[in-house]
Amino acid sequence: MAGVPGPGAAARALPTAAAASAPPGRSTFAIATAVMMAALAIAPLGGVYPIFLMQALCFALFACAFNLLIGFGGLLSFGHAMFLGTGSYVCAHAAKEWGLSPELAILAGAAAAAIIGVIAGTLAIRRQGIYFAMITLALSQMLFFFYLQAPFTHGEDGIQAVPRGKMFGFIDLSDTLTMYYTVLVIFLAAFLFIYRIVHSPFGQVLKAIRENEPRAISLGYSSDKFKLLAFTLSAALSGLAGAMKAIVVQLATLTDVHWTMSGEVVLMTLLGGMGTIFGPVVGAFAIIGLENYLAQFGQWVTVITGVIFVACVLAFRRGIVGELGAWWARRGASRHGTS
């Protein structure tokens, strides 16, 4: 757009917000990412159940996709399960009924979620705040009842015995460790992609719209276009997470598209730290870990998880990673102040 200020102008127009959400340096991010990936790479070799790790990675990607929308775009969706469920169902059906290879089935699931994201986003971004959230919830419930009645989903039974097959014709996903490291690579690629989005000119404009939409519009940006693109990207990445989950557990059910799943991803993001890069990953592993290791308590797992969440919100207002980042920033400031 000729004559329109660049993204840097939008960022400078919001100095307070930029300072509040200033990202860590690239070297810090690289070190943290390397440590995270090294830990995840050796975890199954150290006795951690690979299926649990794969499920946690799928939900971590789902939470990161949701965080892209709410943490950096300021758009709260109460219906993000429709994208996870769509990716799961389409991938499972494509792999089992159409006989597609795993990579094509996963891409089909992500593409279907992106298409749903474009449609839902076009309708939802017409409103803001709680109205936006309620529209996404209503659309998600409509899709839930569609999947409940649609013949290809098999209703409450879901799509079972989804074949893993061989990715690219030679990566045998029937081997659990091979499947795990494949999921890990996909997660890393998507995680780095989200990081790139957040720190691109598009991401800076998205943050500007989040903090002060009228001011961003006055600088010449079409906020609706940016919000729709962010919504679609978040939907596609959520669908990717759902598609991977369907291949991992070899099952696609109504649980993936139920409204409680939308609430669970909100919980993961808030617990780990909304608006941070690593927060959703930490939150997802914490919630999935609690559900897995407290399964012996039955229905009390929900109550226990709720109590832990309330305690964490009261003690860590910015989330686990957000509080750690704030503590590190205070520590660095005090050291510079005394030197």
Per-residue pLDDT of the chain (339 residues; tens, 9 = 90+): 444 444 444 334 433 333 334 445 678 888 989 999 999 999 998 878 899 999 999 999 999 999 999 989 889 999 999 999 999 999 999 999 999 999 999 999 999 999 999 999 999 988 888 899 999 999 999 999 999 999 999 888 899 999 998 898 888 898 999 999 999 999 999 999 999 999 999 999 999 999 888 899 998 888 899 999 999 999 999 999 999 999 999 999 999 999 889 988 998 998 888 888 999 999 999 889 888 877 777 777 777 777 877 777 777 777 888 777 777 777 766 766 655
The single residue listed with the structure tokens 């219906």 is 79
What is the domain-level CATH number for residue 33? 1.10.3470
204 domain-assigned: yes
Query: SS3 string of 54-89?
Result: HHHHHHHHHHHHHHHHHCCCCCCCCCCHHHHHHHHH
Enclosing domain of residue 65:
10-257
Q: Is the residue at 270 inside a domain?
A: no
Predicted confidence at residue 14, as pLDDT, reads 38
Pick from 87, 333, 49, 28: which is nearest to 180 by CA?
49
CA pair distance 9, 46, nearest whole angstrom: 49
> 190 in a domain, yes or no?
yes
Assess if residue 166 is contained within a domain: yes
| pLDDT given at position 36 | 93
What is residue 339's predicted lDDT score, i.e. its pLDDT?
53
Q: For the segment 304-335, what is each residue's pLDDT rounded down to a tens digit?
A: 777 877 777 777 777 888 777 777 777 766 76
Residues in a beta bridge with 336: none
Structure-block tokens of residue 44: 């199954």
Distance CA 268, CA 319 (A): 10
Look at the chain and report how many structural domains it folds into. Answer: 1
Distances (CA, A) of 95 to 244, 287, 308, 329: 12, 29, 38, 48
Task: Quote the pLDDT of residue 337.
Answer: 62
Residue 91 identity (one-letter amino acid): C
- What pLDDT digit, counting tens, does each position of 206-260 carry? 999 998 888 999 988 888 999 999 999 999 999 999 999 999 999 999 999 998 8
- Which tokens in the block code for residue 88? 């799961």
Residue 276 lies in a domain: no
The alpha carbon dihedral of 90, 96, 99, 100 has a sign of positive
8 Å CB contact between 194 and 237: yes
**Pairing relation of β-strands 166-167 and 251-252?**
unpaired
- Give a yes or no: residue 309 inside a domain: no
Task: Decide if 304 is inside a domain.
Answer: no
Residue 5 lies in a domain: no
